[in-house]
Amino acid sequence: MTPGALIILLFGAVPIVWSAVMSFQRNNLLTGDTPYVGLRNYRAMVHDPVVVQAIGHTLVYTALFVPGTMIVGLFLAVAMNRKIRFISVYRTAAYATMAISTISEAVVFIWLFDPSYGVANYFFSLLGIPQQQFLNSPAQALYVIVIMTIWGWTGFSVVIYLAALQGVPQALLDAAAVDGASKWTAFRRVTLPLLSPASLFLAVWLTINAMQLFDEVYLSTQGGPLNATTVLVYYLYDQAFQNFNFGYASAIAYFLFLIILTVTAVQFRVGRRFTHYRS
Q: Please tell me the predicted confidence (pLDDT) of residue 275.
A: 83
Q: Please tell me the predicted confidence (pLDDT) of residue 77.
A: 93
β-partners of residue 227 are none
Q: Please tell me the predicted confidence (pLDDT) of residue 278.
A: 65
Point out the residues of the chain with pLDDT beneath 70: 278-279
Distances (CA, A) of 224 to 126, 136, 149: 29, 8, 17
Q: Rounded to the nearest 5 degrees, what angle is found at the Cα of 21, between the Cα atoms of 19 and 23?
A: 70
Q: Please tell me the predicted confidence (pLDDT) of residue 198.
A: 94
Cα 260 versus chain centre, distance = 12
Q: Please tell me the predicted confidence (pLDDT) of residue 13.
A: 87
Q: Please tell me the predicted confidence (pLDDT) of residue 279.
A: 52
Q: What is the pLDDT of residues 258-273, one digit of tens each?
A: 999 999 999 999 988 8
